[in-house]
Amino acid sequence: MMKLSRMFLVGFDGCTLKQGHWLRRALAGTPPAGVILFDRNIDGRVQNFSSATQLKELTTELATLTTGPLLIAVDQEGGRVCRLKERDGFAGTETAAELGQQSPEVSTLPAAEAMAAALAGYGINLNLAPVVDVNLNLDNPIIARYERSFGVIPETVAAHCQAFLQGHHNNGVACCLKHFPGHGSASGDSHLGFVDISKDWQEKELEPYKILLASCRVDAIMTAHVVHYGLDPSGLPATLSPVMINTMLRHDLGFTGVIITDDLQMKAISSRYGYKEAVQHAVLAGTDLLIVGNNLERDPDALEQGIAAIQELLDQGRVSEERIQESLRRIDLLLQFCTRRELFK
């Protein structure tokens, strides 16, 4: 029987998994591919950790509660977007914009080495970074505003991202490029709702992906919840679009690794699609690993509901077992990369 639970990366409440916690039960029975950790949830309360000691205790607990490999992921881009914050006693980090002002060898590589060494020490094996978006819209409320892009020149962005990947791989931590097909030109924030990039997006936003896929190992790529009617007239967000996932990313760019959705609970998705519908669209589009952060919303049944949604696709013949097995094989390879350090040497 296929392990459909392995197609999910889930968030959860709790600094420890007490008896009866839904994730504790899942890890013992139908474990997800992994978990995504947050320091604080949307209302500012501690979600998973608020100190280095607490974080290490949690990751150790997670590892002991499951018998197989487990992805333990965070968004640790650096600077203004990071989960391991100075306020909680973690080392400070620079933004991509700051690092991008120097050569990758001088700035980004040593910064990534230090960051990844810290992550590995805390038991984290997947960093949902770096941001590959080109900083084309200086008024962008979610990329430029938080200095998440390495720059305005695609080649510069690619060079710094390659250094970021190298620093992480040297320390046994996998990475995820984001946000495909490009969020740097957008004028809206997909956390808050519908974002249409049809008039703003530029072809050169694909250049960093092309360069990186041709020059180094790319573990995973995250999709954006953006709509581009020129690329896909259906109006489906990239995360749910077969044109952008299967055609552009898989076929045209030749990416064979894990495609990860951005959080399916973000308003760009949840305000327009029910959860089951979003899961099914994402799978039909060709994504492999679905993020359900349980940070913007709370749903302890999301994993079970997601599994049921994919099973329904199989039962109805809307997706083939072979297609699902392809995703599970890619995810298994990522799990190996994240749990066997020698594969990074």
Q: Which residues are catalytic?
A: 191, 262
How many CB atoms are closer than 10 A to CB 340?
11
What are 168's two structure tokens?
Answer: 């992480």
Residue bearing tokens 């004028």: 187
CA atoms lying within 13 Å on the CB side of residue 297: 17
* 281 vs 227: CA distance, rounded Å: 14
What does DSSP assign to residue 153?
S
Query: How would you write 84-148 as a 3-class SS string?
Result: CCHHHCCCCCCCHHHHCCCCCCCCHHHHHHHHHHHHHHCCCCEECCCECCCCCCCCCCCCCCCCC
What one-character-per-residue DSSP string does 180-237 give?
ET--TT-SS-TTTS--B-TTT--GGGGHHHHHHHHHS---EEEEP--B-TTT-TT---
Closest CA to 152 of 196, 107, 80, 208: 208
Q: With beta carbons less than 8 A apart as the criterion, state whether 224 and 239 touch.
A: yes
* 24 vs 30: CA distance, rounded Å: 10
